[in-house]
Structure formats: C-alpha cells, structure tokens
Amino acid sequence: MTTEPNAPTSRGTVTIEIERCKGCALCIPACPPAVLRMSEAHNGIGMPYPELLPGCTGCGACLLVCPDFCFEVWQYDAPLRHAEAGAPS
C-alpha cells in the first residue's frame, strides 16, 4: 500500500470521555503539538468538548491538566500514518 510522503502521522492517541467534560478548555493550550480543539457541538450537559486531530504524540499533557479526568492516553507501537489507516473520514 502506498502512502503520501507528507501524510500526517500520530505516535499516540487519546480516548476522551466527552460526556464528563465541563468545557474548561485547559487541555487546548496544554497540548504541545496543538492537535486538540474545542468542538462546535455540545455534550449532554451543554458544553463543548475537545476533539483530536492527527499528530498526537501520546505525551499525556492533556491528561495532566484535565480537572475532570476525561483523558486516557495511548502510544502506538509504530507511528500511525493517517493516509494508511484510521484516516478521518
């Protein structure tokens, strides 16, 4: 399978419990590769929540600063190239 040479890669990823998020947005500036942004949609308590874009390194800074225990952090065994698999659709 061929991939584009500049395809975005992620060395890690996060799972986010968006229904527990209170929308404080502390994770957004805390993310070193700046791959988190607040959603335009709202969760069940009416708050925006973080969305993940390609480029996560799995560093866990989001988890460290989150007051509501919303993040779980993973590191891939090999960097994930989004043009190959798991590409946003």
Partner 1 sequence: MSERSRPSDALPTDVRPVEGARRVGRMRPALLLHEDHDLCPGCGEPVAIRVLLEAIEELGAAQRAIGVIGIGCYTAFTSTMDIDLVQALHGRAPSVATGVKRMQPENLVVTLQGDGDMVNEGLQEVIHTAARGENVTCVLLNNGVFGETGGHMTSTTVIGQRTKNTLEGREAATHGHPILIGDLLAPLGGTAYAARGTVHDAHGVVQTKAMIKRALTAQQQGLGFSFVEILTMCPTGWFVPTADGPGYLDDVLRPVHATGELKRDGRILTTRELLDAARKQQP
Cβ nearer to partner 1, comparing 5 with 78: 78
Candidates 47, 49, 46, 71; CA nearest to 58 is: 71
Cβ nearer to partner 1, comparing 2 with 78: 78
Cβ 36 to partner 1, closest distance in Å?
Answer: 10
The residue written with tokens 């584009």 in the block is: 4
Residues 6+ apart with CB under 8 A from 15: 71, 72, 74
**Of 16-75, which residues contact partner 1 (CB under 8 A)?**
16-20, 22-26, 28-30, 39-41, 43-44, 47, 49, 51-54, 56, 58, 60-61, 63-75
Tell me the two tokens of residue 40: 């335009």
